[in-house]
Amino acid sequence: MDIVRTVADLRTRVRAWRGAGETVGLVPTMGGIHDGHLALVRAACDRLDHTVATLFVNPKQFGPGEDFGSYPRDEEGDSGRLEAEGVDLLFAPPESVMYPEGYSTRVEVAGLGSILEGAFRPDFFSGVATVVAKLLLQVLPDAALFGEKDFQQLRVVQRMVLDLDVPVEIVGVPTVREPDGLALSSRNLYLSVAEREIAPALFATLSAVAEAVRAGAEPEERERWAESALLSAGFEGVDYVAVRDGVTLGPYATGQGPGRVLAAARLGKTRLIDNVAL
Ligand code: PAF
């Protein structure tokens, strides 16, 4: 696996593959590589001839007081794991390549980007949409793969690609979980031993909501139940538990199309998000 740090080097490599009629997949990451990322790489390797991964901790998607400074950074460990899983090329640009002096453009997905996570992290989705738009234009892959763990991010990226006519398929890959149900996340590293024991209650509670709504329970009543169940389990705060339409993330109409239950809750310094299908 080669590591490139400039857009020119990245394009030279991808152009050679394209010239030989080969397909290219993109797995964008911020590092902290875990089995969830490796599932994205495997899905890319299964579908496409070549896999490009990116490693860039994107400052534009962190708000003031968030964990940009402490986000896990271990390029050597991360690149070893990506290479072992079959990545052909790693694009690990410095910030000056992604956002050179004078950089001024932001991509905003209105509506979808300002609800749920967007209501609590106002610049998050425009930061994500901006960096993903750049990565897509830099690599020009046939497909890009994103984890369903960040379900709203997946929908925001799909909307952006549709709206901007970016010629790429966006593929969602199911969440990878620990045996006790906790969704894998780079931020799980922040949990203390005691918090780690409480954390699986998030998936268990969302699964219980999904099951109850499927059986005919009132979504809003189950959302309120879930908030108090999470607090009783030991979470210190619940930002939201929401039963939503699985495509638009707008209000869920019982029995009409796929639904999704999404939540964000706080354990000490860590904010966990998760979601399950209805
Ligand atoms: O999900 C992530 O790790 C990031 O939001 C992404 C998609 C790599 C953009 O920085």
**What domains can you pick out in the chain, each with its CATH number?**
2-173 (3.40.50.620), 186-271 (3.30.1300.10)
Whether ligand 1 lies within 6 angstroms of the CB of 170 is answered as no
State the sign of the Cα–Cα–Cα–Cα dihedral 105, 64, 70, 273. negative
Which residue from 52, 73, 125, 132 has its CB within 8 A of the most atoms of ligand 1, so it is best to mutate? Answer: 132
Looking at ligand 1, which atom is closest to the CA of residue 186?
3
Burial class (CB in 10 A: 0-12, 13-18, 19+), 233: middle
Residue partners of 206: CB distance under 8 A and separation at least 6: 226, 241, 261, 262, 263, 274, 275, 276
Of the candidates 13, 37, 81, 260, the residue annotated as catalytic is 37
Amino acid (one-letter) located at 236? E
Look at residue 255 in the predicted model and tell me its pLDDT: 77
Contact 152, 117 (CB under 8 A): yes
Residue 259 gets which letter from DSSP?
E
State the sign of the Cα–Cα–Cα–Cα dihedral 35, 41, 45, 48. positive
Whether ligand 1 lies within 6 angstroms of the CB of 126 is answered as no
Contact 115, 249 (CB under 8 A): yes
| Annotation says 50 is catalytic | no
Look at residue 256 in the predicted model and tell me its pLDDT: 78
Whether ligand 1 lies within 6 angstroms of the CB of 200 is answered as no
Whether ligand 1 lies within 6 angstroms of the CB of 157 is answered as no
Contact 40, 48 (CB under 8 A): no
Look at residue 165 in the predicted model and tell me its pLDDT: 98
Look at residue 173 in the predicted model and tell me its pLDDT: 98
Write out the H or E segment, with its range, that includes residue 254: none
* Averages of pLDDT over each 10 residues, the chain, 278 residues: 98 98 98 98 98 98 95 97 98 98 98 98 97 98 98 98 98 98 96 98 98 95 98 98 96 88 97 97
